[in-house]
Structure 1
Amino acid sequence: MLSPDPAGRATARLAAQPLTRSFTALTAQVRTAGLLARARGFYVLVFGVLLLALGGIATGVVLLGESWLQLLMAGALGLVLTQFAFLGHEASHRQIFTSGKANDRSGRILAVGFAGLSYSWWMHKHTKHHGNPNQVGKDPDIERDTFSFVEADAAKQRGLSRWFTSRQSWLFFPLLFLEGVNLHLKSVQSLLQRGPVKGRRTELTMLALRFGLYAGVLFWFLPLGMAAAFIGVQLAIFGFYMGATFAPNHMGMPIVPADVKLDFLSKQVRTSRNITGGFWMSVLMGGLNYQVEHHLFPSMPRPHLRAARAMVREHCRTLDVPYTETNLIRAYHSVLGHLDRVGLKARDPFDCPAAGNMRFG
């Protein structure tokens, strides 16, 4: 951790200069290799496959009729809609088109029309995250919400919140099944808040039409209970898939204190984690398995991230900048371990010692 005193900050600034110049050289290397060029063919292919998957699910729903096997279709729909959300995320980073307006239009259609999430809310929140990942007071992704990600937040909890926070590592995966509902509610709340909201009317109209069409068709075609269960399962799978994909990216990585300043390269690399697994992991996680490269080059299209990984790893090795890469199981173990360590700050000192020893290492 960098020293907070003036002399320490001056030393940190001097140390950051070579890293800053080296990142400029790395960017030139990546650009020369063509890795920042658009990959429209790839995104047309992915979008086409997802549309075919939607068509297959719709056909399955019609053929199954009034059967509880419809819940399998609901689960499949949750997976496919998450993949649409991944595409919306990539559009928000200008990965698909050269034009910013074209990316915003497509991103809004993908996020709002297909996934049911507010594009403007996502852009505002996610842009702040990318600017200062894992930094206290600047990254909205580590602010206290359902879970506490910083020890200082956990120590403030009282009553039921304290009980929950002290056990948050055990409750993490079960509660991800509710994340879909949470994301949809936050989207609507953000659009109804006071003050200027870009695209408010457009997104509210799209969300209303999407929900009306989706729920209307289901409740018209299926019995009331079955239609409600279908929506419930779809939201549960959507939320779990989204949460389980984004959690390993930064959770369990170093937390940057509010008063510490880091150069861009160190800030992005030290707080991010890559997940091994190659092509199929990239499909599963929508390219977010290359989180280090994504944070260094947010506009880099998904199919180019793998090639950039080799360059970035070698660059970090040369500069002795820690580069974290692990498999998905170990990443989740780190996530749960972090939540458990933070949760200890909320634990009542009179809790059973045996229970306190049941921790994720």
Structure 2
Amino acid sequence: MGIGESIGDGHVTVVDSPRAPGARGSDFARLARRIADAGLLDRRPGYYAARATLVAGLFGGAWALAAVTGDSWWQLGVAALLAVAFGQVTLLAHDLAHGQVFRSRRSSRIAGLVAGNLLTGLSYGWWMDKHTRHHANPNHEERDPDVAPDILVWSRRQAGSSTGVARFVGRWQAYLFFPLLTLEGLNLRVSSLRALRRPSMKDRRLEALLLIAHNVAYFGAVFALLPPGKALAFLAVHQACFGVYLGCAFAPNHKGMPVLTADDELDFLRRQVLTSRNVSGGRLTTAALGGLNYQIEHHLFPSMPTPNLRVARPIVREHCAALGVDYAECGLLESWRQALSHLHAVGEPLRARR
């Protein structure tokens, strides 16, 4: 198998990679054995019990603060705090979907439905299906739903064939990216409701009931606490901040990294590592991003509990260095610079066609 190298439009080519003398199994299999032998795939129930308690406290505390604040424009600050709480619940649901918390799929699904559908109004089943396809083929033009050219374009090839909204927005998408993120919370809610029309969705009626219960409680609470004008302002600030927070947690990990096509034949290790970027930082960064700052390790071992990702990092980095596989890591601001620079570069053909 070969090493992927970034070229041209962020695509990947394959060159020969000699295997170390005496090595057994694939490059990923040998890494996986080291990770398993180090016990890094073992569950961390104490960590998740503490994290769930803190997140529940933040979530409940934000709503309690809203009730105490009452009819006041200070509620807009509470709305921003509640957006952080919603984001933390969503990040916890992400770990549940990957089986990091419970061994039982049933337990993971029940907790995920509560965290996703009931608490945040996002369909757990829809998001899990979408995210699973992303993990299988990250940054793949045809297979990763996260780089589908719906509004933004992620490669020059997509720019060349774009039409409608994507063709218009793609010209200046680097400048519009953060403003568009303010609509992401609303987009996720709408996509969750639209997904209920799919006959293939598992437990569709249960998901629908939980989403209805959330929306009745969510909108009912806001309009019970505030007059219509302030209630609408609260909802706008909350959903805008929620969308930006989720974007800041998920987007730095892949945007601006190589985009794959059907012509790029990479093994599992290279497909995951070369399309992912770690975000360096301390414990505050890890807490804010829910551990997704260790994106390379997470993509290689999706079921690895969040606190073990930091421990796995030097093992993975050493393994990649021995293979000559690029291991991308930078600070949060630099990750955004790279992502926005990429978006601006791939939108160039659209600007040229004006």
How high is the TM-score relative to the length of structure 2?
0.92
Structure 2 letter corresponding to 1:335: A
For 1:322 and 1:13, locate their aligned partners in 2 and report how far apart those are by CA, in whole Å: 13
Structure 2 letter corresponding to 1:73: V
Asked if 1:196 corresponds to 2:191, the answer is no
Instruction: Tell me the CA shift for residue 27 of structure 1.
Output: 1.1
Taking a change above 3 Å as real, the CA distance of residues 161 and 294 of structure 1, as seen in their structure-2 partners, is: closer
Runs of at least 5 residues in structure 2 that lack an aligned partner in the other structure: 6-12
Report Cα offsets for 1:278-325 as digits up to 9, x if no partner.
311110100100000000000000010000001000111111110000
For 1:136 and 1:178, locate their aligned partners in 2 and report how far apart those are by CA, in whole Å: 23
Q: Give 2:35's aligned residue.
A: 30
Asked if 1:279 corresponds to 2:283, the answer is yes
Taking a change above 3 Å as real, the CA distance of residues 290 and 11 of structure 1, as seen in their structure-2 partners, is: closer
1:268 pairs with one of 269, 272, 280: 272
Q: Is the 1:156–1:346 Cα contact (8 Å) retained in structure 2?
A: no
Instruction: Tell me the CA shift for residue 157 of structure 1.
Output: 3.1
Q: How does 1:236-247 map to 2 (within 5 A)?
A: 236-247=240-251
Runs of at least 5 residues in structure 1 that lack an aligned partner in the other structure: 3-8, 351-361
Q: Is the 1:16–1:262 Cα contact (8 Å) retained in structure 2?
A: no
2:167 pairs with one of 162, 167, 189: 162
Q: Is the 2:254–2:275 Cα contact (8 Å) retained in structure 1?
A: yes
Structure 2 letter corresponding to 1:115: T
Q: Give 2:336's aligned residue.
A: 332
Taking a change above 3 Å as real, the CA distance of residues 14 and 153 of structure 1, as seen in their structure-2 partners, is: same
Q: Give 1:221's aligned residue.
A: 225
Larger mean CA deviation between 223-232 and 152-161 belongs to 152-161
Question: Could you say what secondary structure the match of 2:196 adopts?
Answer: helix
Instruction: Tell me the CA shift for residue 19 of structure 1.
Output: 9.3
Instruction: Tell me the CA shift for residue 13 of structure 1.
Output: 9.9
How many corresponding residue pairs? 343
Quote the RMSD (CA, aligned, Å).
2.2
Q: Is the 2:174–2:344 Cα contact (8 Å) retained in structure 1?
A: yes
Question: Could you say what secondary structure the match of 2:278 adopts?
Answer: strand
Q: Give 1:129's aligned residue.
A: 134
Structure 1 letter corresponding to 2:67: V
Structure 2 letter corresponding to 1:157: S
Q: Is the 2:294–2:313 Cα contact (8 Å) retained in structure 1?
A: yes
Q: How does 1:1-361 map to 2 (within 5 A)?
A: 21-158=26-163, 161-193=166-198, 195-349=199-353
Q: Give 1:356's aligned residue.
A: none
For 1:245 and 1:157, locate their aligned partners in 2 and report how far apart those are by CA, in whole Å: 27
For 1:262 and 1:15, locate their aligned partners in 2 and report how far apart those are by CA, in whole Å: 15
For 1:127 and 1:59, locate their aligned partners in 2 and report how far apart those are by CA, in whole Å: 35
Question: Could you say what secondary structure the match of 2:90 adopts?
Answer: helix
For 1:24 and 1:15, locate their aligned partners in 2 and report how far apart those are by CA, in whole Å: 13
Higher helix share: 1
Report Cα offsets for 1:176-213 as digits up to 9, x if no partner.
111100111011111123x3211211111001001101
For 2:244 and 2:143, locate their aligned partners in 1 and report how far apart those are by CA, in whole Å: 26
Instruction: Tell me the CA shift for residue 342 of structure 1.
Output: 1.0
How high is the TM-score relative to the length of structure 1?
0.90
| Identity of matched residues, % | 41
For 1:172 and 1:160, locate their aligned partners in 2 and report how far apart those are by CA, in whole Å: 14
